[in-house]
Amino acid sequence: MKNYQKIHVDNENRTELHDVLGLTGAEISINNLPAGAGVPFVHAHKQNEEIYIILEGSGKAVLDGEEVELTAGDFVRVAPATKRQFSATDQGIKYICIQVKAGSLDSYTADDAIM
């Protein structure tokens, strides 16, 4: 068995990499909201923070009632208890969402490397 997996993602509306890559420490989704579309529910999390990376287009996030404009190149970290909902402008939006347990990062980069 290989110690890695590779997949290719096309322009589906949503791809959850947890399932297709067998992730064990994070959930990563690739999301495409067409023009004017939005996530149809407001939600928060019990323990997972989310990091949103805006790849293309524009939209907005409503975070605890505050509207935050989003454009390509933006990165947003959202704490677990924050109520959130996302929508696209008239040009649509493509983003990655990384979900990890808040406070779980012990080491990273060179501290976690074996040389």
CATH number of the domain within which 32 lies: 2.60.120.10
Dump pLDDT digits (tens) for 52-105: 999 999 999 999 999 999 999 999 999 999 999 999 999 999 999 999 999 998
Let me know if residue 31 belongs to a domain.
Answer: yes
**Which residues in 82-91 are b (16+ Cβ under 10 Å) and which e?**
bebebbbbee
Output the pLDDT for position 108: 84
Write out the residue range of the structural domain in which residue 96 sits: 27-103
How far from the centroid of its chain's Cα atoms is residue 31's Cα? 8
This prediction's pTM:
0.90
Q: Where would I find the H helices in 4-115?
A: 17-21
Quote the strand ranges of the chain, DSSP E.
14-16, 27-33, 48-63, 66-71, 75-78, 84-101
Q: Report phi then psi at 105, rounded to 5.
A: -80, 110
Let me know if residue 108 belongs to a domain.
Answer: no
